[in-house]
Amino acid sequence: MPAKMLIDGKWTTARGGGTFETFDPATGAVIDTVPDATPADVDAAVAAAKRAFSSPDWAQMLPAARARLLWKIADLIEEHAEELAQLETRDQGQPFGISSQISVPNAIEHFRYYAGWATKLHGLTVPVSIPGVDYRNHREPLGVCGLITPWNFPLMIAAWKLAPALVTGNSVVMKPAEQTPLSTLRLAELCCEAGVPDGVVNVVTGGPAVGEALVRHPDVAKISFTGSTEVGREIAAETGRRLARVSLELGGKAPSIVAPDADIDAILQGNVMGGLLNCGQVCAAYTRFYVDHKRAAEFAEKIGDVASHMQLGHGLEPGTQLGPLVSEEQVERVDRYVRIGTAEGAHLVTGGERAGGELAGGYFYQPTVFADVDDSMTIAREEIFGPVLSVIPYEDADELAERANDTDYGLAAVIWSRDIGTANRLANAIKAGTVWINLPPFLDAAAPWGGMKASGVGREMGWEAILAYTETKSVWTSLA
């Protein structure tokens, strides 16, 4: 039975019957067939969400009941954690250790964290300087929100958007990436089981055209998009034209700054994790490693050694440390960047090829480390979204902030130093939404997440996501 999508509480095929296939990236085998939504399906989903938004059982749901509903969704995800983690690994490729220890628990935590906000969404009374009036404000939901997600962490990123959208009383149409639709469909099914009213959560499956139809739809009040900067710009233009609300979580090119005083052996694991988690298919992946020129060769050799010994394999095989890339297209993209790196004069320390042998049928790429990279090289400037690390030597530590900031992106950065003053001075000088000090890339539902510059607009997580899914309404009352 092909998978179906969810419109108005009903599981449905696409109008016209179109479908597309989704693959296990570790083997290239088809694992499911999914409806290819038409613009008419998007219209139907938006219409259902619009009706549901103002239906009494959703619009007038009491805060305590809304809190219980989100908590129930979290409980159901937890009950089905093993199944969801397997599904994520099969559809996306990420090792089971990642899907079961990061993706699923993080999704659960988002629903629990936002469940807590349901009863705390208060406004303000403000002492205005006008006699005889009372002023108060409160936050109102926006309406129908289009949630468009990428393929690298499908379940987790869907939860980042869905939980705050629901707790604030919006209705949603979700559009998962065409490479990885399955965990979002299952999440929507669990929302139905938890008791989310029909039409509040809809999922339409398909490619960019489905996303575009959602972005252009006049009844969609807000688009929350995570994906490439290129598509983000198009969405910003379209939502700008029709003055819809928009949040954009886009690409990154995070610098990892190894201060002259850092202990290279002690920071190696954190850097490997930051660079190669989910095969480098992480928007905050550490990709530009700035290392003191006296120790750059040592760092490159050591990180290359760890990378070259990582076990590649199917994400469901015990012992797998690195899974495949998500698609053949992504393998070609990564390989193209590696060729460019070599052609532009970077020194290949390890990797540099598609993985062969038993892995040849899947979309595997060897973890790759380049040394002697300079800031102007393509591999140091463009987002690769694969297991490719560039070690960039520096001579003058005073130039580090400027060099780290010499990029269009501003999503994240990491600083490794034993000197708390050095680390914090750099953290203050770096233009990025998040700076970690002596840490791998941690996230938490309570900590706002998002990018500066070409890495996006707005923040997810924490209180900031509540703001992103609501607007302030002022109410003035005459006391006469």
Contacts with ligand NAD, residue ranges (CB under 6 A): 148-152, 157, 175, 177-178, 207-208, 211-212, 215, 226-228, 231, 234-235, 249-252, 283, 383, 385, 411, 451, 456
The C-alpha angle 424, 436, 106, rounded to 5 degrees, equals 150
Rounded Cα gap, residues 305 and 118, in angstroms: 49
In DSSP terms, 145 is beta-bridged to: 172, 222
Q: Which one, 211 or 274, has the nearer CB to ligand NAD? A: 211
Pick between residue 63 and residue 207 the one whose CB is nearest to ligand NAD.
Answer: 207
Please state the closest distance from residue 208 (CB atom) to ligand NAD, in A: 3
For the bound state, the minimum distance from the C-beta of residue 360 to ligand NAD, rounded and expressed in Å, comes to 24
What span, in angstroms and rounded, lies between the C-alpha atoms of 177 and 348?
33
Alpha carbon distance 386, 279 (integer Å): 6
Reported as half-sphere exposure (CB side, CA atoms, 13 A), residue 173 has a value of 32
| Minimal distance, residue 338 CB to ligand NAD, in Å | 18
DSSP classification of residue 101: I
To the nearest 10 degrees (0 to 180), the angle between helices 182-194 and 154-167 is 30
The residue at minimum Cβ distance from ligand NAD is: 211
192 is catalytic: no
Residue 252 beta carbon to ligand NAD: minimum distance, rounded to whole angstroms: 5
Distance (Å, rounded) from C-alpha 88 to C-alpha 294? Answer: 42
CB of residue 471 to ligand NAD, shortest distance in Å: 23
Q: Would you call 301 a catalytic residue per the annotation?
A: no
Least distance to ligand NAD, CB of residue 124, Å: 30
Closer of 349 and 457 to ligand NAD (Cβ): 457
Q: Which of 204, 205, 201, 208 is nearest to 227 (CA)?
A: 208
User: 10 Å Cβ neighbour count for 445?
Assistant: 23
Give 251 or 362: the residue with its C-beta nearer to ligand NAD: 251
Cβ 19 to ligand NAD shortest distance, Å: 16
What sign does the CA torsion over 24, 30, 31, 32 have? positive
In this complex, which beta carbon is closest to ligand NAD, that of residue 141 or of residue 458?
Answer: 458
Question: What does the alpha-carbon distance between residue 450 and residue 437 come to, in Å, rounded to a whole number?
Answer: 17
* Residue from 145, 191, 279, 283 carrying the catalytic annotation: 283
CA distance 105 to 111: 10
Which lies closer to ligand NAD via its Cβ, residue 61 or residue 220? 220
| DSSP string for 43-87 | HHHHHHHHHHHHSHHHHT--HHHHHHHHHHHHHHHHHTHHHHHHH
Q: Which of 181, 187, 222 is nearest to 49 (CA)?
A: 222
For ligand NAD, the closer CB: 88 or 249? 249
Q: Which of 178, 249, 383, 460 is catalytic?
A: 249
Return the active site residues: 249, 283
